Structure 1
Amino acid sequence: MTLADILTSLFPGGHDVRNDDGVLSGSGALRSGGRALVVGIADRTAVGIDEAIRLSRYVLDSIASGSGPILVIVDSDSQRMSKRDELLGLNEFLAHLAKCLIYADIHGRPAIGILYGHSAAGGFLATALATRVLVGLPGADPVVMDLPSMSKVTKLSIDILEEKAKSTPVFAPGLQNLAQTGAVHLTWDEATPLADQLEALLDDLPDARDRRDALGKERGGRLKAADIAERVHGLALQTR
């Protein structure tokens, strides 16, 4: 689906979403009433400090101006790996954007990521993965870290990583693998109006507690994270 198709299907009652050099902003009329704020990245744009601070402003401004959900629609590259962005503290800007989305989520504007294209690395973490739940559309191509980059970090050969990716979703790119680890909450059906699927999700939205580790355990893609987190939480309570 193209971005125009997605917005039309999400908001049959109309929307005013604009694409300004790859940065999405605006709102759309919900079928159940009220409006959803729409922000995001389009056209496989890399997320640099300029994009991050603009999106952060839209999100923070929305907390005082409404109470509907925030839809974070994403087709991005990774973070912008330029000297300018790195010297100005890109990591801090990306962290600020992620924290703004989380802050808005716990202050009355639940954040829902909608991944329809590519996304990778810091650009993925600070947008789609910083939401309460992430929805994937067929054809989406998420990569937390590509295998050549992972090879440099782990010092394992690409051949070994490719073999591990066949049986271990945490090593593998792609929508299905991210769903198996619990990072992708749902995959929507593009043959069904997205407005209907959005309303169904809003009616049954999980609470703000991050349960992706438990979902990954349930789906067999991340077997240890939930148990380790529970043990750490228990130990922390004992030391109070």
Structure 2
Amino acid sequence: MTTWTTLAAALFPQGHTITEQDDFLNGVAQVDGQTVAVIGTTRHAAIGVEIALAQAQAVLRTVRDAPGRPIVLLVDTQGQRLRHRDEMLGIQRYMAHLGKCLELARQRGHRIVALVYDQALSGGFVSTGLMADGCYALPDATIRVMGLAAMARITKVPEAELAQLARSHPVFAPGPENYTRMGALQAIWHGDLAAALANALAQVRPTDERAALGLARGGRQNAYPVMAAVMGDVAAAS
């Protein structure tokens, strides 16, 4: 398990002012001579309405007060908080709001890089890490959208059959290696984390290349061809 303080020391040797409050991380740091905004979670945070709003507010403050400043997302979450109160308040809307704020930041010229340093599950990952321009992970990170037991209950497919499928199909399997094969992760970081982050920020591109990466890496064979066919039909119709 990598603590956020240990991670911050490795990522930001030039200094940072990150603070933790109720599993929410926020502050600024220096990366290769430039200031970046840091927003994230820790202690396997369950994303309830409060922490979703706190993250969204931090994004909007950055857009308002520091135009163009890169944003680094530090991801460690068990997913959305499973409480009746959060469900009744519409937790899905709060998480969607967070995703929209990140998209607004991107449209305003903010480069966004996410790092899964411990755990990334379910909607807490979808609304943060998967909203970044580039998402990366540490080698021992735990990543999955849904566990096989839960998937078996939802799909009515026996868990043993899903476990067998997971051996050859990364869509069913957890772990950073499988998410890298699918293109959801750009890469897994080893060694000098500060250099890896600086390089990731420098390589941010305006287009979403995850489907193409998934095809090239053999993890998702159909997503990119289907997207290309649809876009070709749209272009032909226009």
TM-score (norm 2): 0.96
Percent of aligned pairs sharing the same letter: 34
Deviation at 1:236, TM superposition (A): 2.3
Deviation at 1:186, TM superposition (A): 1.1
- Answering whether residue 170 of structure 2 is matched by residue 157 of structure 1, we say no
Cα displacement string for residues 127-172 of structure 1 (whole angstroms, at most 9, x for unaligned residues): 1111111010121001111111211222100000000000000011
Partner residue in 1 for 2:18: 17
Aligned-partner Cα distance in 2 for 1:4–1:178? 25
Partner residue in 1 for 2:37: 37
- Residue identity in the other structure for 1:42: T
Alignment of 1:131-170 (within 5 A): 131-170=132-171
Aligned-partner Cα distance in 2 for 1:13–1:133? 22
Question: Contact 1:112–1:133 (CA<8 Å) still a contact in 2?
Answer: yes
Aligned-partner Cα distance in 2 for 1:98–1:152? 28
Partner residue in 1 for 2:69: 68
Cα displacement string for residues 180-211 of structure 1 (whole angstroms, at most 9, x for unaligned residues): 1000101111x32x211111222222x22211
Cα displacement string for residues 94-133 of structure 1 (whole angstroms, at most 9, x for unaligned residues): 1110111122122111111100111111111111111111
Partner residue in 2 for 1:235: 233
- Answering whether residue 48 of structure 2 is matched by residue 57 of structure 1, we say no
Unaligned runs of 5+ in 2: none
Question: Contact 1:22–1:41 (CA<8 Å) still a contact in 2?
Answer: yes
Aligned-partner Cα distance in 1 for 2:21–2:236? 50
Equivalent residues, number: 236
State the SS of the aligned residue for 2:43. Answer: strand
Partner residue in 2 for 1:195: 194
Equivalent of 2:212, from 198, 211, 214?
214
Aligned-partner Cα distance in 2 for 1:236–1:89? 34
Aligned-partner Cα distance in 2 for 1:153–1:218? 30
Partner residue in 2 for 1:5: 6
Partner residue in 1 for 2:180: 179
Aligned-partner Cα distance in 1 for 2:61–2:235? 36
State the SS of the aligned residue for 1:142. Answer: strand
Unaligned runs of 5+ in 1: none
Aligned-partner Cα distance in 1 for 2:15–2:106? 24
- Residue identity in the other structure for 2:46: A
CA RMSD of aligned residues (A): 1.2
Runs of 4+ in 1 over 3 A off after TM superposition: none
Partner residue in 1 for 2:97: 96
Deviation at 1:81, TM superposition (A): 1.2
State the SS of the aligned residue for 1:46. Answer: strand
State the SS of the aligned residue for 1:43. Answer: coil
Partner residue in 2 for 1:107: 108
Question: Contact 2:73–2:128 (CA<8 Å) still a contact in 1?
Answer: yes
